[in-house]
Amino acid sequence: MEAGSNMTSLSGYTRIPVLTLLGAIAAGVLLHALHTVLGFGGPSVDSWFDDYLYNAVLIAAAAACLLRGVSVADERWAWLAFGTGLAFWGAGDLYWTVVLSGQSHPPYPSAADLLFLAGYPALFAGIVLLVKARVPRFGSSMWLDGGIGALAAAALGTALLHPALTELAHGTRALTSSTIPANSAGYPARKSRSAAEG
């Protein structure tokens, strides 16, 4: 099945919730990007963006993937795996926000760490299942292209995150939404902050 036809495979009852979730996710990501890049709302609302909005977007993304997996037979297991991985990650972030973020020395490893780590196998399985469903033949040149793309993304991520993480590790900068260009890197940044405080 082509990716563009997935939305038409949803029933009328399912399409409205999925579109609503996707719209809310897009709005949340846009608001967070405006806050992180342009300082929209100012530093006084950092907690609202970094804790509440971030967690809401992550949980909504998990719900959208799970709803897609339950509602459409094609690629069902891939989307259920994505939803499960995101749900684990969201549960870890929620646990961190509600239970651990206020502690001066949060435990390490914690239940949040276990939930973060539990998400990786499910997300990896989702990628494998989706590629298997959408790519009929996967030659060595495609593996090479994927490897090059992964290394380029890793290099870019390192270039963007290294200065902020170094400052966090040395305790010369506070953790805010402007500290981390990509909010998905919040997990290692939180660990760096804990190490700096320890």
15 has pLDDT over 60: yes
Cβ-proximal residues to 156 (8 Å cutoff; 6+ apart), any chain: none
- Cα separation, 159 vs 40, in Å, equals 24
pLDDT at 172: 58
Q: Give this prediction's pTM.
A: 0.65
Q: Is 183 helix (H, G, I), strand (E, B) or coil?
A: helix
Q: Which of the four pLDDT bands, split at 50, 70 and 90, describes residue 139?
A: confident
Could you identify the residue written with the tokens 């297991």? 77
Q: What is the pLDDT of residues 114-134, one digit of tens each?
A: 898 998 999 999 988 888 888
| Residues ≥6 apart with Cβ < 8 Å to 1 | 9, 74, 75
Sign of CA dihedral 67, 70, 72, 75: positive
Kindly report the number of other CB atoms within 10 A of residue 89's CB atom: 25
Given a cut of 90, whether residue 81 has pLDDT beyond it is: yes
State both tokens at 93: 């972030």
Q: In Å, how far are 13, 14, 31, 39, 64 from 60, measured between CA atoms?
A: 18, 15, 15, 24, 6
Per-residue model confidence as pLDDT tens digits over 36-67: 877 777 777 777 777 778 888 888 889 888 88
pLDDT above 90 covers a percentage of the chain that reads 11
Check pLDDT > 80 for residue 13: no
Most confident of 11-20, 37-46, 139-148: 139-148
Q: Residue 26 and residue 28: Cα distance in Å, rounded?
A: 5
**Predicted pLDDT of residue 194:** 47
In this structure, the number of other CB atoms found within 10 A of the CB of residue 37 comes to: 11
**What's the maximum distance between 2 C-alpha atoms anywhere in the chain?**
54
Asked if 95 contacts 118 with a C-beta cutoff of 8 angstroms, the reply is no
